[in-house]
A and B are shown apart, each in its own frame.
Chain A
Amino acid sequence: MTTALDVARIKKDFPILSRTVRGGHPLVYLDSAATSQKPECVLDAERAFYETSNAAVHRGAHQLAEEATQAYEDARAAIAGFVGGAPEDLIFTKNATEGINLVSYAFSNATAESAWGGSPDPRFILRPGDSILVTEMEHHANLVPWQQVCARTGATLRWIPLTEDGRLDLSDLGSLIDSSTKMVSVVHQSNILGTINPVRQIMDAAHAVGALGLVDACQSVPHMPVNVDELGADFITWSGHKMLGPTGIGLLWGRSEVLSGMSPFLSGGSMIESVYMDHSTFAAPPNRFEAGVPMVAQSVGLARAVAYLDELGMDAVHAHETELTAYALNALEQAPGVRIIGPTNSVDRGSAISFVVDGIHPHDVGQILDSEGVAVRVGHHCAWPTCRRFGVPATTRISTYIYNDSSDIDVAIEAISTAQRYFGTSTTSKQGCES
């Protein structure tokens, strides 16, 4: 139904979307914020690599090793280019969680090294009294690592609170970011609320006090045009599997001037310059942060995914999603007994929509939707503090992508009313059956 993308044609590119589930229901996949499905061209690219060029990269004197290395570095350049970055500033990780840990351990490691007389980049040394800032809508992946850093260094964790409608409350930003702030790590687009945050403003505030800044872009890079220079961050991390690529590959982009001062995270093969029995020196970024044999086939698959998205055009992808999100928000708002958790308009809002259904636990909502062929996520979405903030133990979440259209939303809405009939909750009553 949207005008920006030819969804009927796109659907044909995804083999899994033609299967049926739960006794013959056509699959309605509304869980792309958890992971996206993969087009055939991505599967073909990965398979072709294994069939023609498979070898360990950056080692070996044979032709296959050369071709594999070329494929891996070509993939790096293509993926970096997709976000307007330089290849040497893009690190392959196993997922976005590893990317954030890589940065958080740069702080822990520098702090430990400085205690033993080392001279790491002072921007990464933390002391009691220093602070790290996140938001109350972070995925656990951008919260727990910083809690851990604070526990190891004595630094204090602060967070930007939320407004009732699921936006960041920036009214107190001036005191949350002060001379004690060493790191600001914020989500670009919330995986639970759908909110798109003004990260440029927050990054600029961080830089004004000399702090570093990271943007968790897992839910934004797949869905809208993202340019690393425009975000103004020192680090941007995201994952491959949410943008049509394979699992097992994530990305961390860093400003080269910052990366060059960072201690390694995982150490071992591939990341060294020279090794002696008593010490080692390390390779320049990005190799310094890629210990061991990396995910070559996955990088090839992800590069193909990026090309596929480029062929559609990220402006068109974003326009499609904004239009579909507005449709879904409106349909959910019309549905009796349904309450949206997060912004209810499509301004600065992505396609992940969380909601609760009066009187029916999200796990049961998800089960009934599943029985109708509709795949959604239920639970706290790895954002438990955000659920607590809104006083709900869990939510049901629908999230769309390029292969969804309004008919998918219609099936989901109908399945919600099926759940309400099944559990005997009146469609107009606010009275739940939980006693």
Chain B
Amino acid sequence: MSVDALYQEIILDHYKHPRGKGLLGESLAESFQVNPTCGDEVTVQVAGDPSDVLIGYEGQGCSISQASASVMSEMLNGTPVATIKEKRDAFIELMHAKGLGEPDEEVLEDGVAFAGVAKYPARVKCALLPWMALQDAAIKAGFITEEKS
């Protein structure tokens, strides 16, 4: 089907079997983000310290938004801020590549499966939702000082 590029098996697997889902017992900061056009919701919490950022999340929504949260959590939970920034930049670049991006699997790991999402403008927002929540929570926690990516 034409949507096979969108719904990669990795994405469907993360959607059906989300990794690391659940909120932290205690957190330094959290961010609730919502996609007002479709009602997708995600809450991301951060804890720990800049060398070892702990990430918790909860949410409801479409397969793309929820799989993206799962991939992000699996990739970044327990990593230093520098890693978060590097992978965040790579993921955002991929999402804005209109489907022409050639992601580096070394950097984005399961995130490479989202390359096809960038061909569907209405779904890019879904994929970015948890990443925006992480960015916001990390700024609130003082882990990231820049205002925007």
A276 at the interface (CB under 8 A from B): no
B91 at the interface (CB under 8 A from A): no
| B61 interface neighbour in A22, A371, A384, A393, Cβ under 8 Å | A393
Q: What's the minimum C-beta distance from A146 to chain B, rounded to whole angstroms?
A: 20
**Interface-lining segment among A120-128, A303-311, A362-370:** A362-370
Q: Is the CB of A387 within 8 A of B16?
A: no
Q: Is the CB of B2 within 8 A of A361?
A: no
Minimal Cβ-Cβ distance residue in B for A384:
B39
Q: Is the CB of A371 within 8 A of B40?
A: no
| A361 interface neighbour in B3, B21, B62, Cβ under 8 Å | B62
B145 at the interface (CB under 8 A from A): no
Minimal Cβ-Cβ distance residue in A for B7:
A422
Q: Is the CB of A435 within 8 A of B61?
A: no
Contacts of B37 in A (CB 8 A): 379
Minimal Cβ-Cβ distance residue in B for A388:
B39
Contacts of A394 in B (CB 8 A): 38-39
Known contacts A363-B62, A371-B3: does B15 contact A433 (CB below 8 Å)? yes
Q: Is the CB of A435 within 8 A of B17?
A: yes
Over the window 381-395 of chain A, the binary record of Cβ atoms lying under 8 Å from chain B Cβ atoms (1 yes, 0 no) is 000100100000110
Q: What's the minimum C-beta distance from A221 to chain B, rounded to whole angstroms?
A: 26
CA A435 to CA B21, docked complex, whole Å: 9
Q: Is the CB of B39 within 8 A of A22?
A: no
A23 at the interface (CB under 8 A from B): yes
Q: Is the CB of B2 within 8 A of A434?
A: no
Q: Is the CB of B41 within 8 A of A368?
A: no
Over the window 73-100 of chain B, the binary record of Cβ atoms lying under 8 Å from chain A Cβ atoms (1 yes, 0 no) is 0000000000000000000000000000
Q: Is the CB of B16 within 8 A of A393?
A: no
Q: What's the minimum C-beta distance from A141 to chain B, rounded to whole angstroms?
A: 15
Q: Is the CB of B6 within 8 A of A435?
A: no
Q: Is the CB of A364 within 8 A of B2?
A: no
Over the window 9-44 of chain A, the binary record of Cβ atoms lying under 8 Å from chain B Cβ atoms (1 yes, 0 no) is 000000000000011000000000000000000000
B12 at the interface (CB under 8 A from A): yes
Over the window 48-61 of chain B, the binary record of Cβ atoms lying under 8 Å from chain A Cβ atoms (1 yes, 0 no) is 00000000000011
A378 at the interface (CB under 8 A from B): yes
CB-CB contacts below 8 Å: B1-56 with A: 1-3, 6-7, 12, 15-18, 21, 37-41
Q: Is the CB of A433 within 8 A of B61?
A: no
Q: Is the CB of B16 within 8 A of A435?
A: yes
Q: Is the CB of A379 within 8 A of B2?
A: no
Q: Is the CB of B61 within 8 A of A361?
A: yes
CA A393 to CA B38, docked complex, whole Å: 8
Contacts of A418 in B (CB 8 A): 1
| A363 interface neighbour in B1, B3, B17, B38, Cβ under 8 Å | B38
Contacts of B126 in A (CB 8 A): 363
Over the window 132-145 of chain B, the binary record of Cβ atoms lying under 8 Å from chain A Cβ atoms (1 yes, 0 no) is 00000000000000
Contacts of A433 in B (CB 8 A): 15-16
Known contacts A379-B37, A380-B39, A435-B17: does B2 contact A363 (CB below 8 Å)? no
Minimal Cβ-Cβ distance residue in B for A378:
B38
| A371 interface neighbour in B2, B12, B16, B38, Cβ under 8 Å | B2
CA A424 to CA B60, docked complex, whole Å: 19
| A423 interface neighbour in B12, B21, B120, Cβ under 8 Å | B12
CA A393 to CA B40, docked complex, whole Å: 8
Q: Is the CB of A363 within 8 A of B40?
A: yes
CB-CB contacts below 8 Å: A374-432 with B: 378-380, 384, 387, 393-394, 418, 422-424
Q: What's the minimum C-beta distance from B46 to chain A, rounded to whole angstroms?
A: 22
CA A362 to CA B7, docked complex, whole Å: 15
| B6 interface neighbour in A367, A387, A424, Cβ under 8 Å | A367
CB-CB contacts below 8 Å: B91-129 with A: 120, 123, 126
Chain A interface residues (CB < 8 Å from chain B): 22-23, 361-364, 367-368, 371, 378-380, 384, 387, 393-394, 418, 422-424, 433-435
New A-B contacts (10) at CB < 8 Å, excluding given A363-B126, A394-B38, A433-B16: A362-B38, A364-B63, A368-B3, A371-B1, A378-B38, A379-B37, A393-B39, A393-B41, A393-B60, A433-B15
- Pairs across A and B, CB under 8 Å, 23 listed: A22-B2, A23-B2, A361-B63, A362-B38, A362-B62, A363-B38, A363-B61, A363-B64, A363-B126, A368-B1, A368-B3, A371-B3, A378-B38, A379-B37, A379-B39, A380-B38, A393-B39, A393-B61, A394-B38, A394-B39, A418-B1, A423-B63, A434-B60
Q: Please name the 3 residue pairs, one residue from A and one from B, whose CB atoms are nearest each other, closest first.
A: A363-B62, A361-B62, A393-B39
Chain B interface residues (CB < 8 Å from chain A): 1-3, 6-7, 12, 15-18, 21, 37-41, 60-64, 66, 120, 123, 126
